Amino acid sequence: MTTRIDSRFAELAREGRAALVTFIMGGDPDLETTLALLKALPAAGADVIELGMPFTDPMADGPAIQAAGLRALATHTTLAKVLKLAAEFRKADTATPLILMGYYNPIYVYGVPRFLTDAKAAGVDGVIVVDLPPEEDSELCLPAQEAGLAFIRLATPTTDDARLPTVLAHTAGFVYYVSITGITGAATPDYSKVAAAVARLKRHTALPVAVGFGVKNAENAAAIAKVADGVVVGSALVDALRKSLDANGHATAGSVAAVTDLVREIAAGVRSAAHQPA
């Protein structure tokens, strides 16, 4: 199974640079703004897009993404509507990898077979479901792979060498390395430790390793891009969007640009760390 994710990482490896993976929350602050952002992100420098599925209890997320999910839920964003956003995006963009990220509960309620069928039809390439451990692979991971969707697993600083083979067994697309012990957007990672962690992961897998949690600017992105195959940024983009909203939490004329301007800045940081491929 080769997905757009595999093709994109392979293409960037040939170019000698890391991928910029960007996260936005579906429906934050409304569906129209999310769709405008989805369409604008690739031109701003996003190589891969993660689209959040809002959930009431996002236990791995920090205040920024928690608030984004609540804003999305307040405007009645559902998983079905997020899938429609994906389908609309895919009509005009057939190349950019699109990943749905969130928690298992909304998928379980929607129905796994229906979700996988609809996600594939919408042009989704993979899923990140942070609260499904490898012991529950039969719930979603294995059916997703059978449906042609990559199931992307997270590894953390506390995932030791004994645990890694289990975590990586059915992972596809890339490995998402969580660079800090904690919630999203909470702290800046120690880059010397990130380099060692990426090297350790690569001893266990041939998959690309993308690093996230704590990337806020071009400098952070460049530091990670020097040692990893991908740089993931989410909370900083979600926060930039929040700051652009009006007093009632509604999008303004500057909302899309607030996000894409930051993406351009971070993309420049990622590209500054490019090297000649071996």
Q: pLDDT tens digit string along 7-59?
A: 999 999 999 999 999 999 999 999 999 999 999 999 999 999 999 999 998 88
Q: Is residue 144's pLDDT more than 90?
A: yes
More confident residue, 1 or 153: 153
Handedness of CA 131, 136, 139, 145 (dihedral sign): positive
To the query of whether residue 50 is one of the catalytic residues in this protein, the response is: yes
Query: What's the token pair of residue 213?
Result: 């949690």
H-helix segments, the chain: 4-15, 31-44, 63-74, 79-92, 104-110, 112-121, 141-146, 164-168, 191-202, 218-225, 235-244, 255-272
Q: Bridge-partner residues for 175, per DSSP?
A: 209
To the query of whether residue 61 is one of the catalytic residues in this protein, the response is: yes
Each residue of 199-222: b (16+ CB within 10 Å) or e? ebbeeebebbbbbbbbbbebebbb
* pLDDT of amino acid 213: 82
Output the CA–CA distances (angstroms, integers) from residue 83 to 51, 54, 76, 103, 108, in the order listed. 10, 12, 14, 15, 15
- The SS3 call for residue 48 is strand
Confidence of residue 236 (pLDDT cuts 50, 70, 90): very high
Q: Which of 28, 30, 47, 50 is catalytic?
A: 50
Q: Give the closest residue to 82 by CA, choosing from 105, 102, 108.
A: 102
Q: pLDDT tens digit string along 94-137?
A: 999 999 999 999 999 999 999 999 999 999 999 999 999 999 99
Q: For the domain made up of 4-272, give the CATH fold.
A: TIM Barrel (3.20.20)
Please state the three-class secondary structure of 174-224 as a single string.
Answer: CEEEECCCCCCCCCCCCHHHHHHHHHHHHCCCCCCEEEECCCCCHHHHHHH
User: CA–CA separation, 223 vs 241, rounded Å?
Assistant: 24
Question: Model pTM?
Answer: 0.95
pLDDT (average), residues 67-83? 96
Q: Which of 61, 118, 125, 137 is catalytic?
A: 61
Q: Are 48 and 91 in contact (CB under 8 A)?
A: no
* Main-chain phi, psi angles of 148, to 5 degrees: 90, 20
Confidence of residue 184 (pLDDT cuts 50, 70, 90): low
Place of tokens 């689209």: 51
User: CA–CA separation, 22 vs 62, rounded Å?
Assistant: 16
Each residue of 105-117: b (16+ CB within 10 Å) or e? ebbeebeeeebbe
